[in-house]
Amino acid sequence: MIEKASKQTVLIAMTGGLESTVAAYLLKKQGYRCIGIGLQLFEAGEDPGPFADVMVADLNKVKSICTYLDIPFYAVNASDLFADTVLDPVVGRILSGQTFEPLVFLNLVLMEVLLEKAAKFNTNLIATGHYAKVLKNQKTGSFELLVANDLEHDQSYALSRLGQKHLEHLMLPLSEIRKKEVEKIGELIKVEYLQRPKNNVHHIMRDPRMITLVEARSPKDLRRSGTIFDYREDNSICEHIGIHRFYIGQKNLPSKTEFPIDPLKEVISIIPFKGNIFIDYPDRLKYSHAHVCRFSPAANLDMTLPLSVYVKMSSGGPKISCRLYFKNNDTCLVDFESERPGILVSGQFFVFYNRAQDKGKVIGSAIVEVGGIFDGEEFNTLPRNKKDLDEDDDHSKKQDEKLHF
């Protein structure tokens, strides 16, 4: 194997972190000729906002790690591709009161750059330090994305948007080993790893630094000011200075005034063109179905009949049992096994698996259009409020009058 591998070149994404360094180290041990590639995602002087925590801040340090490993290193300016694929959609979603999954699409940027550069180095092999598996299906000849052996650190969710053109060239040296083993190997490599900042923010889209990033990349008239409303009582509370400061599920709300807002209430709806923010207690929020779009299936997936699958609705979330009904134009209906508490946000990213636990594979991914309680005709995304009840009363009275009750 080493003799065969010694004739091959592989381009590996280098971040200066533990995983990518160990991945390059292992490939070299197997006899591959490695070339390190680092991505520059922002132009000099640009404020990266929360992406400062996921981008490579110091490419010179990455180069020094590659020098230690005795592999060449090349920095690639991918700022335009990153802006088109990640930054612009992030800003657009926020200004629309929706959400996005930036790190999934950042991996698409990474793969596109690696494939482009691989062709220039006359090779078709690329690699990363992700925890996931890529296997070739011997019956169909297609490539499948599977969960890693280390379930706790599995990153198949983050790679789920990759297509066949990526998977057939992708090597994942950490697929069979656990993070503890990676850390032990890392101790043998005498370099100073770049550390990612530890952030308590649950999701990058909820990071307060998103506010300045959106302000830097959008015209002021799109960041509408408006009113915060109490949804249940259907009355206004106070004014706010921009919808880009809010997201679905947000508590501790900013406003123009010092009017106290109940800290147990959270944002449940954003109407961007009016600048309206609706808040309520989350206890009544439920969903049983979701309509998803831009469904990207695994190769050779049979979509002629509904499938019983498991869905992950966030990178670190559990796999939830559901049934998948395939519709036209890359859309699907997700029918959850049971009614669930909470709210589904437009733009939320779903990844579907064929199994709940180990050895499962990704069968597709999609983006939420709308979710809620489905009555067979339409979604009820939010519970009834005072206005709805009053309208019901008015309608009932009119019907009674017609019948002379």
Choose between 5 and 95: higher pLDDT. 95
What average pLDDT does range 334-359 have in this prediction?
A: 93
At CA 23, angle to CA 17 and CA 25, rounded to 5? 100
What average pLDDT does range 19-25 have in this prediction?
A: 97
Choose between 254 and 58: higher pLDDT. 58
Instruction: Give the model confidence (pLDDT) of 251-272 as tens digits.
Output: 888 655 556 788 889 999 999 9
What average pLDDT does range 265-281 have in this prediction?
A: 95
CATH class of 2-129+173-188: alpha beta
What average pLDDT does range 351-376 have in this prediction?
A: 90
Lowest mean pLDDT among 234-248, 276-290, 369-383: 369-383
Which of 244, 275, 220, 222 is closest to 94 using CA atoms?
244
pLDDT computed for residue 20 by the predictor: 97
Residue ranges of E strands in 33-152 = 33-40, 73-77, 125-127, 133-136, 143-146
pLDDT computed for residue 379 by the predictor: 75
What average pLDDT does range 306-320 have in this prediction?
A: 95
pLDDT computed for residue 405 by the predictor: 43
Q: Is the per-residue pLDDT at 7 higher than 60?
A: yes
**404 torsion bin: left (phi>0), alpha (psi -120 to 50), beta (else):** left
Tell me the whole-structure pTM to 2 decimals.
Answer: 0.91
pLDDT computed for residue 77 by the predictor: 96
Residue ranges of E strands in 212-343 = 226-230, 235-240, 266-271, 276-280, 286-297, 307-312, 319-326, 332-341
What average pLDDT does range 47-56 have in this prediction?
A: 91
If you search the block for the tokens 């508490």, which residue do you land on? 341
What average pLDDT does range 147-157 have in this prediction?
A: 94
Q: Can 2-129+173-188 and 284-380 be said to share one CATH topology?
A: no
DSSP string, 268-291: EEEETTTTEEEEE-GGG-EEEEEE
Q: Is the per-residue pLDDT at 96 higher than 90?
A: yes
Q: Is the per-residue pLDDT at 393 higher than 70?
A: no
Q: Where are the domains of the chain?
A: 2-129+173-188, 219-283, 284-380
CB atoms within 10 A of CB 39: 23
Find out if CATH 2.40.30.10 is the number for domain 284-380. yes
pLDDT computed for residue 389 by the predictor: 53
Q: Tell me how far apart the 2 most distant CA atoms of the chain are, in Å.
A: 93
Q: Is the per-residue pLDDT at 15 higher than 90?
A: yes
Q: Dihedral of the CA atoms 337, 382, 380, 387 (nearest 10)?
A: 150
CB atoms within 10 A of CB 119: 11
H or E element, residue 352: strand 349-353
pLDDT computed for residue 82 by the predictor: 97
Lowest mean pLDDT among 51-65, 76-90, 118-132: 51-65
Distance, CA of 155 to CA of 132 (rounded, Å) = 6
Radius of gyration of the chain (CA): 24
Lowest mean pLDDT among 11-20, 98-107, 307-316, 392-401: 392-401
Lowest mean pLDDT among 86-100, 187-201, 358-372: 187-201
CB of 223 closer than 8 Å to CB of 242: yes
Distance, CA of 309 to CA of 356 (rounded, Å) = 8
Q: Is the per-residue pLDDT at 44 higher than 80?
A: yes
